[in-house]
Amino acid sequence: MDNIEPSAIDKATSHFRQRLNGELLSLDVPEWGEAGKPFKIYFKPLINFKAQEKIFKLVSDGKSSEALCMTLVIRALNKDGKPLFQEGHMATLMHEVDPDVVSGIVTKMGQESDDHETLKKT
């Protein structure tokens, strides 16, 4: 039987699955911690287009604060890779959580993801 080279779509999806299923990155959130121990948020270094679309739609609608909260909802995980937040938490995040902390977390997630990709390439 002939060896058939995988199609471009197979290669593309395999590459994405490998990156998506890689190690979780993490960051500390001292403001949410207790007794000198910061709260830890885990996240994957990337998200798929479907998740990005939710965020981009909010940004294009002029809802940048909601986009930050949605980014947190989509990306923030516990150490087992399970979501820390649900979309049902959006109103609480928008009205009852320090926006500077949320913005800082989302910014750090972007920086950590970029740093992780740079380290992998060197």
**The domain 20-112: what is its CATH number?**
3.30.2220.20
- Residue 61's SS3 state is coil
- Rounded CA separation 9/14 (Å): 8
Summarize pLDDT for 36-69 with one digit per residue, the tens. Answer: 899 999 999 889 999 999 999 999 999 999 999 9
pTM above 0.95, yes or no: no
The Cα–Cα gap between 79 and 118 comes to 23
CA distance 108 to 25: 11
How many beta carbons lie within 10 A of that of residue 33, not counting itself?
12
For the chain, the domains span: 20-112
- Per-residue pLDDT of 15-41, as tens digits, reads 888 877 778 999 999 999 998 899 999
Q: What is each CA distance from 83 to 4, 10, 44, 49, 55, in whole angstroms?
A: 39, 28, 11, 18, 17
